[in-house]
Structure 1
Amino acid sequence: MGRFSGFDEVYAALYVDFDNIYSRLREQDEDIARAFATNPQRWVKWIEGHALRMLYGDGVRRRILKRICYMNPQCFHEFRPFFIRAAFQVVDCPPLTNQGKTSADIHLVMDCMDALNHSTRFDEFIILSGDADFTPLLIRLQEHARRPLVLSVGYTSPAYTAAASWRIREDWFVQQALEDERPAEPVPAPTPYPARGNGERLARVAEVVRRTVADAPAPVGVASLAQILQREVDPGADWFGYGRLRDLLDVLDLKGLEFSPVPPGYLYDPERHEQPEERDAHDDFRSRYPDLYDFALKVHRLTDMPLLRPDHFRQLLGIIVEEVNANGFFMTTTSRNVRDRCVEAGLPIARGHVNFVLVGIARGGYPLNEQDGVNLREVGKAFLRNAYDLCRMSQIDLTKAEQQMLLVWILPKESMGD
């Protein structure tokens, strides 16, 4: 760590497995993937400021001194100029086998090992890849007292994330670093408050919200926030025409603050506050389904499957079907709308849970954007197939009894219309 102009500086090296990240993003949303590929300056800037206070405290900034992108030039040559312009060293990794295998992984490992002996001591090694083959590399970096940070998209081996010092959450990266780069989607905008002075009002609301969260030692409950806003800015019963406080918060510039739907709902700063936990919901799961809970907890810990009650899974799948049939499927818009509807229904379901299920449905062979009409039975079966695949990849050898428990947990009979 260096010091410059009164700041402590963390020196970082950034390694991007382009094929891995881009391909997985494209499976979820073509526009999000293209935003990643065509504007690396934006998300690099976001990474430079990500989680600094949580990892190091105040008065620290990150400098990314080395940027390397590993790319298959035969498939993705059109994106090469964007990374060159963003000061990346682009390493061409063409296929070496008939199956399309490239040498990106070995190049990345060798470059990381070389960087350990560089005259500049790199404090952080930021690796954008979900390839579990890099697990031994992360462990080796830890042994050298360096801090590996990883970003993966989609399912990631628990061993891989456990070997990292910090996992950059996929939903944060997409929503904060990429989402604003998308072209506008055909969804109706909320009815605004009368235009005169609207911008000033919203700026004032955002200022009060940011100040309230900044002054709070813990996440701020939405009910408490509502009382403060009614007292200080008088938004009226219709929240400046947005109908609900939750919809109003969505249009504010909150500088990276996050909303948690853990009942009763919280706003928090992910760099200062611990994410609100779902202990009450988990305790409720344990008390209602004592025989199922221990199995579900094991699967959750090994696969990241959301630890939701069976009836919550059933309701979530139903809300997804209703939303997609009503408004079509656009990954970020759909996940946000489904999350909001879950909050309205009082369900302890976060946007990360929604994203996990939406990706799982696609990986289970039922891409929602390719369906004329979404069928609840097919949605449930696809998500169940993905759950079986996750268990297999995590080396969970399910007994027949456990297979039945997985079915009861993920796909209760009521969700199949039986």
Structure 2
Amino acid sequence: MARVCIIGAGAAGLCAARHLLVEPCVSQVDILEQAGQLGGTWVYTENTGYDDFGLPIHTSMYKSLRTNLPKEIMGFPDFPIPESEKSYLPAKDMLAFLQMYSDKHGVTEHIKFKHHVQLVIPKQTESGELWNVSFKDLTTGVSETREYDYMFVCNGHYNTPFIPDIPGLKTFEGDVMHSHDYRVPEIFTGKKVLVIGAGPSGMDIALEVTSVSTKVILSHHLKEQPKTVFPENLIQKPDVVKLEGGKAFFQDGAVEEVDVVFLCTGYLYNFPFLHESCEIVVEDNCVEPLYKHLVNINHPSMCFIGVPYYVCAFSMFDLQVRYYVRSMNGTFSLPTREQMVEHWEEEKQDRAARGYTKRQAHMMGPDQEKYYASLAEEAGTKTLPSVLTKIREESSIRFLHNLKHYRQDIYKIIDDDTYEIISNGTREILC
């Protein structure tokens, strides 16, 4: 009977626990959560910097955030988000959904809240590999070490800011801030703000900040120029070449005076609790060596749930967990170490040949449906319906070209391949 440790009680950790708790081969499930509540990145707090225990604030949630994907593709395969009039929900509704999911499946009572994971070390025994996990109860200050058979790493990857290497950034005379610490737009009142990065949060926040700022400069290198009509006080610029004094210099030769450099440049994968003997390396945001972005090739009794991005996240977590649990209970066997290494190397070469950089090692997007199918096929389980990826793609296009109004669209899934969308009162069925 297996003892399992799950690090993190966000959506990935909750999903892992939900499946492990009903698995006959599992005798113990401990979920270690640093915060005082479940939900991970969906928890909103006005606090930034460090918490009461001197640990970095985990969440990057800002006050006005609504999902950038419709709820119809954000639930779990066996636990959809309840029906409502809107497709795009506020963060508090997503948090309430995760609480409901956790309570329904008896997960909440297994969460050790305010428990900080300090160190994870593999331990070789005669019967196989075990894991020593050291963690601290932040309330009592007491640390302990427990032994487990399997490790599920579910700590998310939207909490450690990525700071780009821009000449002059460290000596910039104005303010420098990362979106991780953004909560409300009022802090930018009357200022000229340079927003660097046009991912979902960069675009969203840039638009929100126009309501209080004198000028917003959105710097990005999107291959496809957004068709969104922005307010007059927002202009778009290519990448920043350098910062000097209080000025920003751009690739097109333009120079702008700015008060704030606001970095919406994404996040780093970070596993500070993994001892080097876990043999996981993160370099240029590529986590390796992982088989199928999931299994630690050097120590296959450790898995990472939720590493790929540009995916249908909660459904992918569910599929990854189902895959891995089936390898635990003997439904299928993972390939040999040599076979896993070969697969990982071939995939990296294939992605490089198609133009992916190392930093994009875990980006799925157009590859996601193929990835889901590969997991399901190997594990002999059900893949995700194609309608999920179709809606995700449709929503992403509308986000780019109609940022102001795309969240008014309403989606409805008709079957595994077909969906309906109501936009501006017009109903359209797509497949």
Fold agreement, TM-score > 0.5 = no
Higher helix share: 1
Higher RCO (C-alpha 8 Å, min separation 6)? 2
TM-score (norm 1): 0.29
- Bigger strand share: 2
TM-score, normalised relative to structure 2: 0.28
